[in-house]
Structure 1
Amino acid sequence: MRDLDHLEDLLSEPSEGVIDTCRRLDGDVLVLGVGGKMGPSLSRMMRRASDAAGAKRRIIGVSRFAGGTSRLQRQLNDWGIETIACDLLDQAALDRLPDTPNVVYMTGMKFGTTGQQSLTWAMNGFLPSIVCQRFSRSRIVAFSSGNIYAMSAVCSGGPTEGVDTAPVGEYGMSVLARERMFEHFSRTLKIPVTLLRLNYAVEMRYGVLVDLATKVWRGQPIDVSMGVFNVIWQGDANAQAIQSFDHVASPPRVLNITGPETLSVRALAEAFGRAMGKQPAIVGTEAATALLNNAQLSHRLFGYPRVPIQQVVEWTAEWVMKGGVNLDRPTHFETRDGRF
Structure 2
Amino acid sequence: MTLPTRFDSVEAVEDFMTAPSAALVADLARAPGDIIVLGVGGKMGPTLARLAKRAAPERRVMGVARFSEPGVREALETAGVEPVAADLLDRAAIEALPKAANVVFMAGRKFGATGDVPLTWAMNVQVPAMVAEAFRESRIVAFSTGCVYPFVPVDSGGASEEVAPVPPPGDYATSCVGRERMFEYFSNRHGTPGRLFRLNYAIDMRYGVLHDIGRKVRDDEPIDLSMGHVNVIWQGDANEVALRCLAHATTPTTPINVTGPETIEVRWLAGEFGKLLGRHPKFTGTPGATGWLNDSRRMVTEFGPPAVPLARMIEWTADWLSRDMATLNKPTHYEVRDGKY
For this structure pair, what is the TM-score category when the shorter chain's length is used for normalisation? Answer: over 0.9
Whole-Å Cα distance in 2 between the matches of residues 285 and 188 of structure 1? 46
AA of the residue aligned to 2:65:
S
SS in 2 for 1:196: strand
Could you say which residue in structure 2 is the equivalent of 1:278? 279
Does the alignment pair 1:14 with 2:20? yes
SS in 2 for 1:60: strand
1:152–1:292: 8 Å Cα contact kept in structure 2?
yes
1:62–1:85: 8 Å Cα contact kept in structure 2?
yes
Whole-Å Cα distance in 1 between the matches of residues 244 and 115 of structure 2? 36
Could you say which residue in structure 2 is the equivalent of 1:176? 177
1:321, distance to aligned residue in structure 2 (A): 1.2
Residues 277-304 of structure 1: per-residue CA shift (max 9 Å, x gap): 1111111221111110001001011000
SS in 2 for 1:222: strand
**What is the root-mean-square deviation in Å for CA atoms of aligned residues?**
0.9
AA of the residue aligned to 1:290:
G
AA of the residue aligned to 1:186:
S
Residues 173-226 of structure 1: per-residue CA shift (max 9 Å, x gap): 000000000000000111111101010001100000000011111111101121
Does the alignment pair 1:189 with 2:190? yes
Does the alignment pair 1:152 with 2:173? no
1:317, distance to aligned residue in structure 2 (A): 0.4
1:66, distance to aligned residue in structure 2 (A): 2.0
Whole-Å Cα distance in 2 between the matches of residues 283 and 91 of structure 1? 46
Whole-Å Cα distance in 2 between the matches of residues 287 and 258 of structure 1? 21
AA of the residue aligned to 2:260:
G
Whole-Å Cα distance in 2 between the matches of residues 31 and 136 of structure 1? 15
AA of the residue aligned to 2:174:
M
1:43, distance to aligned residue in structure 2 (A): 0.7
Equivalent residue in structure 1 for 2:63, among 61, 64, 81? 61
Could you say which residue in structure 2 is the equivalent of 1:330? 331
1:108–1:124: 8 Å Cα contact kept in structure 2?
yes
Whole-Å Cα distance in 1 between the matches of residues 75 and 246 of structure 2? 25
Does the alignment pair 1:316 with 2:322? no
1:247–1:253: 8 Å Cα contact kept in structure 2?
no
Residues 214-252 of structure 1: per-residue CA shift (max 9 Å, x gap): 111111110112110100000000111111112212221
Could you say which residue in structure 1 is the equivalent of 2:215? 214
Whole-Å Cα distance in 2 between the matches of residues 314 and 223 of structure 1? 22
TM-score (norm 1): 0.97
Identity percentage of aligned residues = 47
AA of the residue aligned to 1:127:
V
TM-score (norm 2): 0.96
Moved over 4 A (4+): none
2:19–2:51: 8 Å Cα contact kept in structure 1?
yes
Whole-Å Cα distance in 1 between the matches of residues 247 and 68 of structure 2? 33
1:24, distance to aligned residue in structure 2 (A): 2.0
Could you say which residue in structure 2 is the equivalent of 1:89? 89
Structure 2 stretches of 5 or more lacking a match? Answer: 1-6
Whole-Å Cα distance in 2 between the matches of residues 237 and 196 of structure 1? 9
Q: Which runs of structure 2 are paired with 1:103-252 in the superposition (5 Å)?
A: 103-168=103-168, 169-252=170-253
1:40–1:76: 8 Å Cα contact kept in structure 2?
yes
1:59–1:81: 8 Å Cα contact kept in structure 2?
yes
- How many aligned residue pairs are there? 334
Could you say which residue in structure 1 is the equivalent of 2:295? 294
Whole-Å Cα distance in 2 between the matches of residues 112 and 289 of structure 1? 25
1:322, distance to aligned residue in structure 2 (A): 0.5
Whole-Å Cα distance in 1 between the matches of residues 105 and 85 of structure 2? 15
2:28–2:246: 8 Å Cα contact kept in structure 1?
no
Whole-Å Cα distance in 2 between the matches of residues 59 and 249 of structure 1? 22
SS in 2 for 1:61: strand
Could you say which residue in structure 1 is the equivalent of 2:43? 37
SS in 2 for 1:251: coil
SS in 2 for 1:175: helix
AA of the residue aligned to 2:298:
L
Whole-Å Cα distance in 1 between the matches of residues 218 and 61 of structure 2? 39
AA of the residue aligned to 1:107:
A
SS in 2 for 1:337: coil
AA of the residue aligned to 1:160:
S
Whole-Å Cα distance in 2 between the matches of residues 4 and 299 of structure 1? 28
Whole-Å Cα distance in 2 between the matches of residues 252 and 24 of structure 1? 18
Whole-Å Cα distance in 1 between the matches of residues 252 and 32 of structure 2? 21
Whole-Å Cα distance in 1 between the matches of residues 29 and 192 of structure 2? 22
Whole-Å Cα distance in 1 between the matches of residues 163 and 285 of structure 2? 29
Whole-Å Cα distance in 1 between the matches of residues 332 and 295 of structure 2? 20
